[in-house]
Amino acid sequence: MTDPDGKGLRLQAGFLGDDDKQAIYDAALEICATVGMRVHQQAALELLRAAGAELKGDDLVRLPAGLVEQARATAPAVVPVFDREGESAMRLGGRRSYFGTGSDLMNVYDLQTGERRLAGLDDVALAARLCDALDNIDFVMSAAYPNDIADPHRAHVAEFQAMVTGTTKPMVVTAEGVADLEVMWKIACEVRGGPEALAAKPYLVMYGQPSSPLEHPRDSLDKLLFCAETGLPAIYSPAPLAGATAPITVAGHVAQGVAESLFGLVIHQLRKPGAPFLFGIGPAVLDMATAQSSYNAPEYLMTYLGAIEMARWLDLPNWGYGGTTDAELVDAQAGMEAGELTLLAMMAGSNLNHDVGYLDYGMTGALELVVIVDEFIAMNRRLLAGITVDRETLGLDVIAQTGPGGDFLSTKHTAKHMRKAQWRPTIINRKGFKRWKEDGGPDLREQARRKALRLLDQHETPALAADVAARIAALVEGFVPAG
């Protein structure tokens, strides 16, 4: 489906018609079956060969369409995720949208000084505690990379310990390989009370990806198979770069990404049918004028929305994005881009949306932007909840009671509904000029900074039980990185 003039508002109808989705799916199947992909992991190769895939040479695998269909049939349409206390937190699937931070940002804007600097482990802990206090941040990633950890092979485990301590919310984790992922799984087992309890109520989701174009590295597949075996929900989302590691056209970008993610799904489901899996595409775009990888180009947004629609069509939960900007600091561009991406994700029904607070093409983070996006999500959750229509909300009785020329300010109906009928902002300015000026004339970034500092001063994350915290510390201390 196309709009030659580019003026039509088409989101409600979708960017892709049924024929478009079928064509993209058929193209993905053709890529898997005729081009094939390189698989650099022996156990995955053996699973594929035994299932009837064609192996060319040492590692090139061509995948029959029937294996993709079989994997789609066994993969769950809904993936439940729980918080640290074992309470239901997210049901990934359908059109339910959840939001969280991203991971491993090399730089952050310091809340106290406002200056950009290298991130450290304290920033991971700070972000986790702030997100724990924000009502509309549903899950947590590290939000920063601990540059101050001497051994970089220990960085992800150190991040995870800080996150487990800093928030009760569910987490999405990155791992260098299966060795540090296994330590995180053992830590989560300590929190939950054992492997079976964790599998029944998963508390963390693993983020992994193949290497575009059309390669599946050993470490990526090690982690994917580990998740299948243990019941940890697994994201397998390629990041094909349009114009560099994927076709520059939106349709080709989507088709390749769909093929790469579904190829991982086949391997995952062959290891354990029914294991929880999240489909996704990280649709970065190479700007041919600047050679930057853009998170917010229109073509990025189009490819992303196409990927969401494919996920719904495939009946698979999806990994998504929200709250990001290519701006270098929290300014009007940041607000525009982060707001647009977040609202599009919500309206399209994208499920697990990360990278809230990302600036600078994913190189820098700002907690002020996390606070701003939290408020934006709150406002639009109110908006997208829809309109309740019944006799009470139609107000027929109060209209009759008030009559022509009356007012509704002093009615019981207004008093009864005033708190629920109107959404109240916490940092957006509705004070009017005089009161705003008396407050120092803060812009939105400053309002968000003040709120973040206030929450960090007042909020205390519930502590882990002392014996659990001690066992977690021992696991982290005893971790020996592979190699």
Could you tell me how far CA 167 lies from the centroid of its own chain? 17
pLDDT band at 483 (very low <50, low <70, confident <90, very high): low
Residue range 155-177: average pLDDT? 98
Average pLDDT, integer, range 210-232: 98
- The secondary structure of residue 171, as a DSSP letter, is E
Q: What's the pLDDT tens digit per position in 53-104?
A: 999 999 999 999 999 999 999 999 999 999 999 999 999 999 999 999 999 9
Evaluate whether 289 touches 303 at the Cβ level (below 8 Å).
no
For the chain, the domains span 74-247+269-384, 391-421
What is the average pLDDT score of the chain? 95
Q: Summarize pLDDT for 280-326 with one digit per residue, the tens.
A: 999 999 999 988 888 889 999 999 999 999 999 999 999 999 999 99
Contact 60, 99 (CB under 8 A): no
pLDDT for residue 294: 86
**3-state class (DSSP) for residue 439:** coil
Confidence of residue 8 (pLDDT cuts 50, 70, 90): very low
- Render pLDDT for 339-381 as a digit per residue (tens, 0 to 9): 999 999 999 999 999 999 999 999 999 999 999 999 999 999 9
Instruction: Give the tens place of pLDDT for each residue, 430-480.
Output: 999 999 999 999 999 999 999 999 999 999 999 999 999 999 999 999 999
**pLDDT at position 13, please?**
61
97-129 pLDDT per residue, tens:
999 999 999 999 999 999 999 999 999 999 999
Three-class secondary structure assignment of 281-349: CCCCEECCCCCCEECCCHHHHHHHHHHHHHHHHHCCCEEEECCCCCCCCCCHHHHHHHHHHHHHHHHHC
- 74-247+269-384 topology per CATH: TIM Barrel (3.20.20)
If you average pLDDT over residues 391-412, what whole number do you get?
A: 96
* pLDDT at residue 291 in the model: 87
